């Protein structure tokens, strides 16, 4: 790879599968359940609150760097490579003006979106030199995916432990003795000594009785 293309290389760490599922649910704003029949559109359910995963905290710095403002050298390299491949390549002065215009329009596209992969996508999409709006339209989904992933990772890194509904699956979450922030999961085996919630209610008192209890006999 030539030195100029090195600025378009962004190696982001892969998300573990369980963490990836949680990030995806937070990014799209819903958990998708496919339909069981060909004409069934399926179901989209709002995701639960994020729960803490130590691996998310370790990944935040890499994704935060990828979401930084675009590198001017990377942006220029990306567009010059595109200019060399279209049917109407721009002369040096004209290309400098067009690059400046595209840089202005795409100033909120993060650094991690200007890559060899998106350049290849642009080379396949644009037969002629594109407008700034066309470049922005192509790169915006990549930028949103990066910033959405970063926001999800930050939420997970700051979240509390996962709370599992005891009634739903027969498990309960307890605080481990001596550790304020650690949790352990113990199976609820429905033993006889398991606590049973009471339905008892305090007796209803009259107004006179309530006033008397407050020291104000009526």
pLDDT of 189 strictly over 50? no
Is 207:218 a contact under the CB 8 Å cutoff?
yes
Lowest mean pLDDT, pick from 7-16, 115-124, 209-218? 209-218
Would the CA dihedral through 193, 194, 199, 204 be positive or negative? positive
| Res 212: pLDDT | 66
Is 111:118 a contact under the CB 8 Å cutoff?
no
Q: How far apart are CA 108 and CA 146, in angstroms?
A: 12
Element (H, E) at 32: strand 31-33
Per-residue pLDDT tens over the stretch 123-150: 999 999 999 999 999 999 999 999 999 9
pLDDT of 39 strictly over 60? yes
| Res 198: pLDDT | 55
| Res 168: pLDDT | 41
Q: At 134, list the tokens.
A: 């066309």
Shortest CA distance to 8 belongs to which of 86, 92, 63, 66?
Answer: 66
**Average of per-residue pLDDT across 14-43:** 74
């Amino acid at each position: 790879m030539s030195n100029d293309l090195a600025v378009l290389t962004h190696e982001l760490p892969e998300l573990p599968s369980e963490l990836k599922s949680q990030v995806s649910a937070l990014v799209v704003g819903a958990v998708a359940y496919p339909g069981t029949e060909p004409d069934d559109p399926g179901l989209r359910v709002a995701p639960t609150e994020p729960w803490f995963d130590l691996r998310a905290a370790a990944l935040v710095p890499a994704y935060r760097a990828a979401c930084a403002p675009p590198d001017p050298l990377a942006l220029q390299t990306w567009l010059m490579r595109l200019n060399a491949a279209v049917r109407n390549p721009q002369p040096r002065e004209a290309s400098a003006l067009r690059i400046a215009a595209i840089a202005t329009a795409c100033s909120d596209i993060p650094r991690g979106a200007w890559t060899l992969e998106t350049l290849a996508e642009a080379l396949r999409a644009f037969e002629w030199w594109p407008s700034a709006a066309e470049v922005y339209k192509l790169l915006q989904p990549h930028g949103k995916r990066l910033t959405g992933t970063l926001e999800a990772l930050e939420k997970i890194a700051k979240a509390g432990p996962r709370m599992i509904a005891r009634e739903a699956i027969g498990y309960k979450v307890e605080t481990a003795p001596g550790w304020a922030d650690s949790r352990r999961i113990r199976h609820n085996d429905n033993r006889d000594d398991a606590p049973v919630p009471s339905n008892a209610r305090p007796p209803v008192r009259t107004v006179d009785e309530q006033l008397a209890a407050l020291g104000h006999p009526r």
